């Protein structure tokens, strides 16, 4: 793992945007894997800036998001689809129909998972996957478990994740309890991975991911055996390394 420690998340996010921009410049029709949550927000803002300055275009980019809440349709303000529009897609030139987020309201969520996985394959797989990190070491919504999920699947969110994500809702009761998430196995298939984690709340998870035993109890620990992972963190998140 290539672990890069920056003084703050602003500097780290600039570096992350530069890496993503370089990917798009090298391959304009890159397939990106994108993440939601607080961690990538500044990176997306930097990407919008690079787009506005004419450095990059998303015209040929394809993107697949990691996950979506079950029960929220894409119009819902807190859906991850809406998050992506609010934070990136509304401000760049990616055409509708070139960005994909699992449907949280499919009548057959299991089928939705299979089809999502097939669609990623049909586009040739993910060139660059952006990840955040849960305080419990989750990536996507792959919660601590007894195994690593190989493919996109339906997950039950842990109490800890529901609590952490309740900050985006008016009450904890509104947070969905299930989600569709790419598996840790799907994530491992990406050719390149960029993980962002900031603040002291992530320090323990970062240490487990980088130096801990590989275990599904810390899903991100599997990234240790991926050949091309860059971890961008601030000093607080690096405190336990
Ligand atoms: C959420 C998302 C993850 C995200 C993580 C960390 O539950 N499903 O994709 O990486 O938690 O979120 P944050 O970046 O807000 O700390």
How does pLDDT run along the chain (241 residues), one tens digit per residue? Answer: 999 999 999 999 999 999 999 999 999 999 999 999 999 999 999 999 999 999 999 999 999 999 999 999 999 999 999 999 999 999 999 999 999 999 999 999 999 999 999 999 999 999 999 999 999 999 999 999 999 999 999 999 999 999 999 999 999 999 999 999 999 999 999 999 999 999 999 999 999 999 999 999 999 999 999 999 999 999 999 999 9
Q: 39: CA distance to ligand 1 center in Å?
A: 7
- Give me the residue spans of the domains in the chain: 2-234
In the prediction, which pLDDT does 67 show? 98
What DSSP state is assigned to residue 61? Answer: -
Q: What residues does ligand 1 touch, defined as CB less than 6 Å away?
A: 35-39, 66-67, 132-134, 140-141, 161, 165
Ligand 1 atom 3, closest CA: 140
135 backbone dihedrals φ, ψ, rounded to 5°: -60, -20
Fold classification of 2-234 (topology level): Rossmann fold (3.40.50)
Contact, 51 vs 20, CB < 8 A? no
In the prediction, which pLDDT does 142 show? 97
In the prediction, which pLDDT does 84 show? 98
Q: CA-CA distances (angstroms) from residue 228 to 10, 18, 39, 53?
A: 23, 16, 20, 29
Rounded to two decimals, the pTM is: 0.97
Please give the number of the atom of ligand 1 that sits closest to the Cα of 198: 16
Q: 120: CA distance to ligand 1 center in Å?
A: 21
Model pLDDT for residues 85-123, shown as the tens digit of each residue: 999 999 999 999 999 999 999 999 999 999 999 999 999
In the prediction, which pLDDT does 103 show? 98
Determine the Cα–Cα distance for residues 164 and 152; give it in Å rounded to an integer. 22
Catalytic residues: 67, 136, 138, 143
Pocket probe for ligand 1: among 16, 36, 159, 199, the residue whose CB has the most ligand atoms within 8 Å is 36
Ligand 1 atom 10, closest CA: 132
């Amino acid at each position: 793992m290539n672990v890069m420690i920056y003084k703050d998340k602003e500097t780290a996010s600039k570096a992350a945007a530069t890496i993503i921009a370089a990917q798009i410049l090298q391959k304009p029709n890159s397939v990106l894997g994108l993440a939601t949550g607080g961690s990538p927000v500044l990176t997306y803002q930097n990407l919008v800036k690079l787009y506005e300055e004419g450095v990059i275009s998303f015209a040929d980019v394809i993107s697949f998001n990691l996950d979506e809440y079950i029960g929220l349709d894409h119009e819902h303000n807190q859906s991850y689809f809406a998050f992506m529009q609010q934070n990136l897609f509304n401000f760049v030139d990616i055409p509708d129909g070139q960005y994909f987020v699992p449907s949280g309201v499919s009548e057959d969520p299991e089928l939705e998972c299979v089809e999502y996985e097939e669609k990623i394959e049909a586009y040739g797989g993910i060139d660059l996957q952006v990840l955040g990190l849960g305080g419990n070491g989750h990536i996507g919504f792959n919660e601590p478990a007894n195994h690593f999920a190989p493919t996109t699947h339906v997950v039950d969110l842990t109490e800890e994740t529901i609590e952490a994500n309740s900050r985006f809702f008016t009450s904890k009761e509104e947070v969905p309890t299930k989600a569709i998430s790419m598996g840790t196995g799907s994530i491992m298939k990406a050719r390149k991975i960029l993980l962002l984690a900031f603040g002291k709340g992530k320090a323990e998870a970062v240490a487990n991911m980088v130096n801990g035993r590989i275990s599904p109890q810390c899903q991100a620990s599997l990234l240790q055996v991926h050949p091309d992972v860059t971890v961008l963190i601030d000093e607080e998140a690096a405190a336990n390394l």
